[in-house]
Amino acid sequence: MANLINEAEVRSTWAPIIESATGINDANKLAWMSTYCHNHKLYEDANIMSLDPTMNLHGMGNAVLPVIGGANGSGDKAPTLLPLAMQVAAQTVGLDLVPVVPMAGPMGLLSYLDFVYEGGRLDNAVTPTYIKTVDAKAGNDVLVGTSRIDGKNIIKIVDALGVGETSIADRYTSPELVKALEDHIKGFAAADEAGSPFSRGAGESTPDKVMGLSLFSKSVAAETFQVAAAVTREQVQDLKQFGVDAVAQVEAVLTNELTQSINQHILGAIRALGTQNVGTSFDIALPAAASLAGGETVASVHRAILTQVLAAANYIANKGRRGAGNFAVVGPQVATVLQSIAGFVANPMANTFSQAAGAIYPLGSVAGINVYTDPTMAWDSYQIAVGRKGDGNSAGLVFMPYLMAESVQTIAEGTMAPKVAVKSRFALVEAGFHPETQYVTFEISGTWSNLINLV
């Protein structure tokens, strides 16, 4: 299912509807939600239930929920609800932490660009000029440096393929092309390996070295979160006297459950990648209040937490070379400490919609870093995840929704009570060659039992 109209038309059609329904006015979020709504509408139009004209229709039959990967449901209600999908997308704050690239179907391709030194092929006789490997240099090949990302050797290939070598992989173990945005070869654009510039005459007579542009694609498939709930006929009847629509309340609860599940899935992936960004430990140990001396106060010790968050953000810029970290996710006690520090400015984030109960929520920003609180973390959990939200074309996590919310409602044959099932289908993809460079996870520790008072 491909988009049938251009992006500008999609945006002009759907952005006012989304803003009216959800209150969202952030340009980036309106852009991807408009694309998603367009894809969702195409899905509804293409998959609306119809009767097979070759069937002998004897009656509706039993009410049956659809089976994943199996039989279709009985179709007592249209299977998709775009307004419900918009609410799930709007209330999922975790989507503010990662770029979103909507998928038009249950499978898709995520493409991203990278520049490599001199190009070449690793799997045939077109030998690359530079490779990265765990092996030491062989023959006349030249070691020109080590990778700043993973410490592997960067080797300039000098010797042509020899007897028994059909590709450079026959000479070196698991060779890789050297990516220019992650590693740097000193002297590549210069006159020598020391990095000296060319003289005018040498510059005129020396051929330019070439940077190769490579397009990489990753195949992804949508995965599923699903949940269902039922109400009794008595609940439907009795709640009406209070002006409460029981079925609508059930859908709201199911929407909240999907939102929290997606949030925690995204946060879990961010924290896991943050622990893989090795090289420097950002864990910080704070002294107890009783051991403070020389004018130190509890507030000044708390200030060290903020410094560590800023250090992690700048480490992401240094390691990933695509920009500094721009968000941090903390627990409720760490959030309390950050709010108490002078200079922390609480202000609204770009998303102004109402948050679902229990979902992560924006706390404020400091030094360009948006701080979010995860209320599902334990009160005494002092883990902090710092990361950078990219644009979908660079390393890091990318969220690719297919159907943000699909709803099916049936009537139980025995009790005649309504039952609602909701599912969300999406892919959370690790894009790029080193997605872990965009995140840092660290812990606060100390001899105290309470972070707020350090006692």
**pLDDT-derived band at 140, boundaries 50, 70, 90:** very high
Identify the domain boundary among 221, 246, 281. 221
**H helices then E strands: how many in the chain?**
8, 15
Phi-psi region of 171 (alpha: psi -120 to 50; beta: other; left: phi over 0): alpha
Q: Is residue 86 part of a domain?
A: yes
Residue 288 in 3-state DSSP? coil
Q: Looking at the structure, do residues 263 and 361 belong to the same domain, yes or no?
A: yes
Q: What is the share, in percent, of the chain residues with pLDDT greater than 70?
A: 83
Q: Is residue 30 part of a domain?
A: no
Q: Which domain holds residue 255?
A: 63-106+225-455
Of the candidates 389, 348, 399, the one whose C-alpha atom is nearest the C-alpha of residue 88 is: 399
Comparison of pLDDT for 168 and 104, the residue scoring more = 168
Identify the domain boundary among 221, 242, 274. 221
Q: Looking at the structure, do residues 217 and 229 belong to the same domain, yes or no?
A: no
Comparison of pLDDT for 369 and 392, the residue scoring more = 369
| Residue 132 tokens, joined | 């990265």
Comparison of pLDDT for 227 and 77, the residue scoring more = 227
Residue 418 in 3-state DSSP? strand
Q: What is the pLDDT of residue 88?
A: 65
Cα 225 to Cα 29, 66, 308, 329, 437: the distances in Å are 22, 14, 35, 23, 28
Q: Looking at the structure, do residues 333 and 445 belong to the same domain, yes or no?
A: yes
Q: Is residue 403 part of a domain?
A: yes
Distance CA 119, CA 115 (A): 9
Q: Is residue 236 part of a domain?
A: yes
Average pLDDT over residues 399-426: 80
Q: Looking at the structure, do residues 151 and 235 belong to the same domain, yes or no?
A: no
Q: Looking at the structure, do residues 199 and 236 belong to the same domain, yes or no?
A: no
Distance CA 312, CA 30 (A): 30
Distance CA 203, CA 43 (A): 58
Distance CA 382, CA 385 (A): 10
Q: For residue range 199-221, what is the model confidence (pLDDT) as tens digits? A: 989 888 988 888 877 777 788 88
Range of lowest pLDDT (186-190, 315-319, 411-415): 411-415
Q: Looking at the structure, do residues 291 and 384 belong to the same domain, yes or no?
A: yes
Average pLDDT over residues 103-121: 80
**pLDDT-derived band at 46, boundaries 50, 70, 90:** low
Q: Looking at the structure, do residues 174 and 288 belong to the same domain, yes or no?
A: no
Which range, 33-47, 290-304, 333-347, has the best average confidence (pLDDT)? Answer: 290-304
Cα 246 to Cα 143, 168, 200: the distances in Å are 70, 66, 80
Q: Is residue 154 part of a domain?
A: yes
Of the candidates 201, 452, 217, 240, the one whose C-alpha atom is nearest the C-alpha of residue 338 is: 452
Q: Is residue 452 part of a domain?
A: yes
Q: Looking at the structure, do residues 77 and 124 belong to the same domain, yes or no?
A: no
pTM: 0.76
The H or E element containing residue 401 is strand 396-411
Q: For residue range 331-363, what is the model confidence (pLDDT) as tens digits? A: 999 999 988 876 766 655 444 444 555 567 788
Q: Looking at the structure, do residues 309 and 202 belong to the same domain, yes or no?
A: no
Q: Looking at the structure, do residues 321 and 437 belong to the same domain, yes or no?
A: yes
What single DSSP character describes residue 173?
A: S
The total domain count for the chain is 2
Q: In the beta sheet, which residues pair with residue 213?
A: 115
Q: Looking at the structure, do residues 94 and 236 belong to the same domain, yes or no?
A: yes
Q: What is the pLDDT of residue 109?
A: 81
Q: Is residue 2 part of a domain?
A: no
Query: With 90 as the cut, is the pLDDT of residue 124 above it?
Result: no
Identify the domain boundary among 190, 221, 252. 221
Q: For residue range 260-277, what is the model confidence (pLDDT) as tens digits? A: 888 899 999 999 999 988
Averaged pLDDT of the chain: 80
Residue 69 in 3-state DSSP? coil
Place of tokens 């965009």: 438
Q: For residue range 55-89, what is the model confidence (pLDDT) as tens digits? A: 444 455 565 555 545 555 555 444 444 556 666 66
Average pLDDT over residues 130-158: 90
Q: Is residue 42 part of a domain?
A: no
Q: Looking at the structure, do residues 134 and 205 belong to the same domain, yes or no?
A: yes
Average pLDDT over residues 160-174: 89
Write down the H helix ranges in 324-414: 332-340
